[in-house]
Structures are given as C-alpha cells and as structure tokens.
Structure 1
Amino acid sequence: MPEEVYVFTDQTYQRLAAAAIRPLSVTDVLFGRHRVRRHIGAAFQVAGRDRSGTWLAVALIEGEDDEYTVICARYLDEAEIEAVGRMGGRANE
C-alpha cells in the first residue's frame, strides 16, 4: 500500500497561522489513530484530535496519486465532534 504524502506550502502555513493552529496539530490529525476521512473527488477532509485532545478538521487537495496539499484546518464545534464520534472517530475516548 503506498504511503500518503502531505505537502505544506507557504500558503498552508499562512492559513494555519491565521486560524491559530499549529502545523504539528495538523500532522497529529493526519497520522492519528482515531480519525474520520472523507474523500470527494480531489478534495480530502480528515477530522481527528491532536496530541492535546483538541478536535480539528483538515482540508486537503490531491495532486499526484497519494500526494495531498494541506489547504487549511479549523477547530470543530461540539455538534461536529459528536457527529465525528458517530462516524467512528471515537469522540468520547
């Protein structure tokens, strides 16, 4: 199975800084155990928790096969966290 590659551009870092989200939190979500992934065409979304337990949604765009550019990330609200838990993200752990 090929490994997925995640690309962070200058724009990625600018958008994360504007949202007050650390790049390390994004990688925690992307490589985390309990996450929910949704792939729609070239768009890819991953929801999960960073190492502090904070829930995030990360938006990515697929370029080459299995290569994804991180576009942005945001914090999830309580309703979204509950929905992610129902989808298998294990919100209550």
Structure 2
Amino acid sequence: MDIERMRHVLDSLMILSFLIFAGLVGIILIKDFPLTNKAISLPFAFLFISMSTLAVTGQIDDNPKAAGSYLMKWLFLCLTGVIISAIAFAVA
C-alpha cells in the first residue's frame, strides 16, 4: 500500500476514534452516569486507539521505510489496549 494512502487511512481512523471518544464522554456527562470502571473503560479505549494512531503516524512520517513494522506494533498495541479495556468492563 502507498505510504500516503496509509497515512490518510490512519488519520481518518484517528479522527473517527477521537470523535467516538468525545461522543461517549458527552453521553456520560449529559446522562450523569456514575464514573465507574464500567462507564469509563469504553471511551478511554477509543482515546487510547486515537493517541496510539497519532504516535504511529508520526513514526511513519519520520521513517517511511519501516511502515510495515510500525503498523504491526500499532496493531499489537491497540489490541492490547482494547483487551485491557474489555477486562476492566467485564470485571466491574
């Protein structure tokens, strides 16, 4: 895949996940949910995905030849973050 197209996809994913985070936080604040692990684990999973995507996009800008390696590390990092959020959601 072309590096520019890859960056556009990652930028779109970053913006989309941040908008989902903001929407979920807005719902929590408007509905006045109690701030428990169950209530905040899902929004912060999307924030984690957004911030890790921002970091990987910057790394790809610095060294485009290692984009495949960065994407594999990003995928592992995002899956780990989502699994931790799912465990926090299930345990609470």
TM-score strictly above 0.5: no
Larger CA Rg, structure 1 vs 2: 2
TM-score scaled by length of structure 1: 0.30
Indicate the structure whose relative CO is greater, using CA pairs within 8 Å and at least 6 residues apart.
2
